[in-house]
A and B are shown apart, each in its own frame.
Chain A
């Protein structure tokens, strides 16, 4: 009997122990739990963790929970989350039905456009609205000239809810259309042959079958509502509308000294709201996908003819596209080419390329642009490698560690970017050997990678899921060890999946803004956090030019992804 046979414990079934895998789980645990733990620790102190006289105390909780401003922010967050779900859910579901099941004109080429709000940065969109329909926006000034008054008020809670609702329609569309596509059209055709009309089929057959997807995206939109930062900061700040994240952000400036303990408490409150939502999402994803199995062989059902209604439907879709994409983006582009704008100014007199030339005068802005590209391209590639490594740790490993890993991976999903950025700032201040990296891109990269861990893992896992287990087993039986199998079989097979994931992560990292807010410093500028900091000083010329560059970067990624046929969602 060869002694190298190996033994195994009662826990892990197949054969060997897995020291490498367990070490990997431990690393993920540290990367995820350390920042959260630090926030929790800080929330229980009487002052910032670095001040000498600090002690454990519940005083920070006392302060926040007695602040009327906190309750106002909480209420506003809840109102927005409910309101935007109420707008995004029906519109997203309708859009999905129109696009997947009917003969809506343009349904073959419109999808990337419909999804574009998902990839655009919320602050870029928010600024687009400011320069288009803000008090001195293009449309507002023109409307005042034509009508004598402006029929809308951008800086109101209603506008904020409508805009956030409209910009989150694609999130609902993504999941609902995926569910509809996986549904065999024959079940709908069966209902039609029995005499049900188009809308009756939609309401009595299709809708109930995609209900799990709808519930899931409803929870998602609600979660995004609670986590919302950029839209609320830029559209709400003027009129004093505060949500939880902007309440946290403004505390930074409110009190002279760093009020880390108070910020930590708000962060904990937000996570206490979002974590259950994330757990609920996971539960829905696990147990709610009951109907995805209603598959058949032929999925190419004949589209339902809308008749004359198709033009009504098309107008509706185009109007939505105009309001969510064309309106803010056209305003931004226009604003980036004028030197100034306001009442009584003729557009032709102020046209200029100067705003772009001016960018070069600010070293931090130039660095911000290069950093964004570096972080998205290089950092994105490294992040995908990390996600792939983590995904391989749990890949066909029948162990309870995999369950632990699943929970670890989804936890950062409950951290809004701004809180994650804050937590990582503290981590880099708190842990001595990390301090030198504080003002390098490494700090941003780590924060980004952890914030998008759940998303990245979903991208990679769905690629790994395509690899049949027997392809790996065949290599094992042929004589290859586990690592060799990953190298020779698994990774080559998911090559294109990894490439697609990298493009999606590139776009995600380019669009990210909130995570960089607290990590912003010399050398760690990125476009998103620069826009937020410029917003304080009101440099609309620079902001518009930067925003357009940001949109261009993301468009390059999106076009490349479309060219390569990358699925735009996991």
Chain B
């Protein structure tokens, strides 16, 4: 069953088109990440679903209930939609205790005192906030505030949970821990979630499906693995990971593979776009796929080692030659200066 359906929503603000007809569907229990840079329209989609923005056109349905229909001039106010929303800033009410913050939604739904207490205790316990009920938000750490925000959005059991960059105010270490338990929590609660983020790692970690947005349109949609490993465009490839770029000319094509002339040598790579022979072409390869060795590589370039950076769990090397500058990772230190063969596996070298 579909919990949320968005059909072709459009929105312009001050003559600028923020959303150019975006559609999406959220199945029961599914987590979808809206991924994109700032200005891609991801937050506008979320706020339109919540009822905090009114699109110019399109339809939004929760289950089979129409909450927005541009052609019929229907727009339910946010309080009538029954959703849960976790804000980037958490938006905890500073004048209410944790318990008052969490129980507010139940109070509005006229739940009895006993029922309210039971549900609030339950959700606070589940989120590890059992002893925090009487505290005020400013007495909590960032991580605790973040969990209160989640508790507040979950306590009245909304059908769809909306999360707007919920982890971006946490420091890097905490963020890595939080994304694991937030995924667990969503799965355990069996709630459907729409998750907005600009961090591709977070999107891949948390979501069942990623919708990559660019300029108010969906650029690519699919499982985290497919978006990461089979990007539609160089832009998607660049957004999803850290890449090396080479610029060359396509000299021959054989099935899925093509040969390019680059930096004085020839390399074979996988054809990702529709280029024809003679075209200028961009070749991309993820940094983690680049190999580095003294011995000759079949599909590789001989480059000079320029810089070595020690990063703790690995080394990062910068190698350069005429018309080529590549980064590579290795867990072992290289034996001194000089020239190295940089191996670029043909399956991993994408030609766009």
Contact = CB atoms under 8 A, between A and B. Distances in A.
A477 B89 contact: no
Interface stretch (A12-20, A40-48, A96-104): A12-20
Interface residues of B, number: 33
Interface in B53-112: 53-54, 66, 73-79, 81-85, 87-89, 91-95, 104-105, 108-109
Contacts of A1: 66, 74
Contacts of A152: none
A471 B54 CA distance: 19
A479 B76 contact: no
A397 to B, nearest CB: 13
Nearest to B56: A13
B50 interface: yes
A478 B77 CA distance: 11
Contacts of A7: 73-74
Given A7-B73, A14-B54, A14-B77, A480 B91 contact: no
| Interface residues on chain A, size class | 20 to 34
Contacts of A570: none
B53 to A, nearest CB: 8
A8 interface: yes
Contacts of B92: 474
B157 to A, nearest CB: 12
A176 to B, nearest CB: 32
Interface string A456-485: 000000000000101101111111111010
Given A14-B54, A477-B83, A484 B77 contact: no
A476 B77 contact: yes
B334 interface: no
Contact of B85 (A471, A477, A481, A482): A477
A477 to B, nearest CB: 4
B75 A476 contact: no
A473 B91 contact: yes
B152 interface: yes
B230 interface: no
Contacts of B84: 477
A492 interface: yes
A489 B94 CA distance: 9
B52 interface: yes
A5 B88 CA distance: 29
A468 B77 contact: no
B75 A5 contact: yes
Contacts, number: 92
Contact of B91 (A14, A471, A481): A471
A8 B108 contact: no
A497 to B, nearest CB: 12
Nearest to A482: B77
Contacts of B76: 5-6, 15
A477 B75 CA distance: 14
A489 B75 contact: no
Nearest to A495: B95
Contacts of A73: none
B156 interface: yes
A476 B79 contact: yes
A488 interface: yes
A493 interface: yes
B52 A473 contact: yes
B87 A473 contact: yes
Contact of B152 (A14, A15, A478, A484): A478
B91 A470 contact: yes
Interface in B26-60: 50-54
B108 A478 contact: yes
A14 B88 CA distance: 22
Contacts of A477: 50-52, 78-79, 81, 83-85, 153
Contacts of A473: 50, 52, 78, 85, 87, 91
B19 to A, nearest CB: 14
A418 to B, nearest CB: 43
A480 B54 contact: no
A484 B110 CA distance: 14
Contacts of A488: 104
Nearest to A474: B91
B77 A8 contact: no
Interface centre among A7, A8, A14, A468 (most CB of B within 10 A): A14
Contacts of B153: 477-478
Given A5-B75, A7-B73, A478 B105 contact: yes
A568 to B, nearest CB: 24
Nearest to A4: B80
Interface string A8-28: 100001111000000000000
Nearest to A470: B91
Contact of B77 (A6, A474, A475, A489): A6
Contacts of A493: 93-95
A13 B54 contact: yes
B95 A468 contact: no
A471 B93 contact: yes
Interface centre among A475, A479, A492 (most CB of B within 10 A): A479
B63 to A, nearest CB: 13
A492 to B, nearest CB: 5
Interface in B97-153: 104-105, 108-109, 152-153
B66 A478 contact: no
Given A475-B104, A479-B105, A470 B54 contact: no
B75 A14 contact: yes
Nearest to B105: A478
A471 B52 CA distance: 12
A456 B115 CA distance: 44
B79 A16 contact: no
A15 B79 contact: no
A14 B89 CA distance: 23
A492 B85 contact: no
30 contacts: A5-B66, A5-B76, A6-B75, A7-B73, A7-B74, A8-B54, A8-B73, A14-B54, A470-B87, A471-B93, A473-B87, A474-B92, A474-B152, A475-B93, A475-B104, A476-B77, A477-B50, A477-B81, A477-B84, A477-B153, A478-B152, A478-B156, A479-B79, A480-B79, A480-B104, A480-B108, A482-B77, A488-B104, A493-B93, A493-B95
Listed from nearest, the 7 A-B pairs whose CB atoms lie closest are: A470-B91, A479-B108, A476-B78, A474-B91, A478-B105, A477-B85, A7-B73
Given A470-B89, A474-B92, 17 more contacts: A1-B66, A5-B75, A6-B75, A15-B77, A470-B88, A473-B78, A473-B91, A474-B85, A474-B87, A476-B79, A477-B50, A477-B85, A479-B79, A479-B108, A492-B95, A493-B93, A493-B95
